[in-house]
Amino acid sequence: MGKLTIERDNKSYLFEEIISEAELCKRVKELGKQISIDYEGKVPIIIGVLNGSFLFMADLIRNLNIEFEVDFIKISSYGDDLKTSGSVSLIKDTSANITGRDIIVVEDIVDSGLSVKYLYKKLSNNNPKSINVITCLKKKTKKDVDQLIKYIGFNISSSFVIGYGLDFKQKYRGLSSIYNLKSHMES
Ligand code: PRP
C-alpha cells in the first residue's frame, strides 16, 4: 500500500492508499457493464457533478455500450474544508433539457448525502423520466440517502479521502488511486 505525505500550512498530513488504480479500473468496468444492461435501448443524459466526478465519469462513459449524452452541474458543499459546510450552493447549472429524459447523476463521493438530496430535488423539478445516482465512493449514510443511490463503486469508512478526482484543498485530484488521511501533526 502506497503512502503519501503532504506538507501544508505548517502541518504534515499522512495519507495511505486504500483503493488502487487496478481496483478502480476493474470496478468501473463492472459498473459500466451493469449500466449498459439496465439502460439498453435508452439514451440517458449522464450528468457529472463537478468538480470531483470528472475522472470517474470519463472512465465510466468509456465503459458503456449504449448511446448517451453528457452534461455537467457544479455545486459546492465542502469548499476548501475537510468536512461538509452543511449547505449546498449551485455554481453552474445543467444546460440540457432534461424533461422526459432518463438521467444518471455521477458523483465521486457521497458523504453526508446533502449534495445528492439537493441534486435529486433540483433535477426532479424539471420532470425527468427517471433519475438514478451513481457514486464512486460512499460513506455510511441514513436510509433516506441510501435509497437515492443506485450504483456504488466502493463503500468506505468515514475518514477524509483524496485522489481520482477528489481534492485536498483543491489539489491532488490527479492521483490515480484513492488515499485516506491517516494522521496529521504540526511540522
Ligand atoms: C464533494 C463531492 C460531492 C459532495 C459530497 O464536493 O464531490 O459532490 O462533496 O458530500 P456530501 O454527501 O456531504 O454532500 P465538494 O463540495 O468538495 O466539491 P468538489 O467536487 O469540487 O471537490
pLDDT per position as a tens digit, 101-119: 999 999 999 999 999 999 9
Whether ligand 1 lies within 6 angstroms of the CB of 114 is answered as yes
Residue type for 120, please?
Y
Q: 66: helix, coil or strand?
A: coil
pLDDT tens-digit readout, 167-183: 999 999 999 999 999 98
pLDDT tens-digit readout, 64-98: 999 999 999 999 886 566 666 678 999 999 999 99
Residues composing the chain: 187
- Beta-bridge partners for 96: none
Q: What is the pTM of this model?
A: 0.95
Residue 127 DSSP one-character state? -
Spacing, Cα 16 to ligand 1 middle (Å): 21
Spacing, Cα 38 to ligand 1 middle (Å): 26
Write down the pLDDT at residue 185.
85
Whether ligand 1 lies within 6 angstroms of the CB of 59 is answered as no
Return the C-alpha cell found at 184. 496529521
Contact 3, 16 (CB under 8 A): yes
Write down the pLDDT at residue 83.
63
Name the residues annotated as catalytic. 111
Tell which residue, 146, 150, 164, has the closest CA to residue 108. Answer: 164
> Where is 161: in which H helix or E strand?
strand 161-162
